[in-house]
């Protein structure tokens, strides 16, 4: 964290959840790229998104993954869609789950948003399949 305080319990839980969903390699890259300028933002998303929302026991990581992909696709956040499709290897959301999420996007947010997200998801899933075939890591 940016100051001398020790990390909060919510931050520690958020970091554990963030790592379990996105993988150590992704979180290590994001953490090492943080500067004094954006460190407060990194702390906020770790505590808020990961320590509060993603850590709630009410629904599964698979379900959160599906919701997140749909929301990001509807909002046109392409890089985040790709990141969360990659994260499905850790959340248990299947190709079929991703497809169902994006079908909802088509109906409730529009065909163009879903079309773009389907293209992104297909590419990411193809890349993940190629990595698995080659014995590569998914982080």
Q: Map out the domains of the chain as residue ranges.
A: 8-58, 59-139
Residue 137 clears pLDDT 70, i.e. is over it: no
Which pLDDT value is given to residue 130? 85
The verdict on domain 59-139 having CATH code 1.20.1290.10 is: yes
pLDDT-above-90 percentage for the chain: 87
Look up residue 37 and give its DSSP letter: T
Q: Of 48, 39, 38, 40, whose CA–CA distance to 18 is shortest?
A: 48
Which pLDDT value is given to residue 131? 81
Distance CA 26, CA 46 (A): 13
Per-residue pLDDT reduced to its tens digit, 72-89 = 999 999 999 999 999 999
Q: Of 121, 132, 7, whose CA–CA distance to 65 is shortest?
A: 121
Residue 32 clears pLDDT 90, i.e. is over it: yes
CB atoms within 10 A of CB 68: 24
pTM score, whole prediction: 0.88
Per-residue pLDDT reduced to its tens digit, 62-75 = 999 999 999 999 99
Which pLDDT value is given to residue 108? 98
State the pLDDT confidence band at 2, using cuts at 50, 70 and 90: very low
């Amino acid at each position: 964290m940016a100051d001398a305080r020790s990390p909060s319990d919510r931050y520690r839980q958020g970091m554990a959840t963030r790592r379990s969903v996105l993988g150590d390699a992704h979180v290590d890259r994001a953490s090492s790229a943080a500067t004094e300028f954006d460190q407060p933002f990194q702390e906020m998303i770790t505590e808020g998104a990961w320590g509060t929302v993603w850590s709630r026991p009410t629904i599964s990581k698979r379900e959160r993954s599906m919701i997140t992909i749909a929301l990001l696709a509807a909002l046109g956040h392409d890089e985040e869609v790709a990141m969360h499709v990659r994260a499905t290897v850790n959340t248990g959301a299947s190709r079929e789950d991703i497809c169902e999420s994006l079908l909802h996007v088509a109906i409730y947010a529009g065909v163009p948003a879903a079309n773009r997200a389907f293209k992104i998801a297909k590419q990411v899933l193809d890349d993940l399949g190629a990595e698995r075939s080659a014995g590569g890591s998914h982080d």
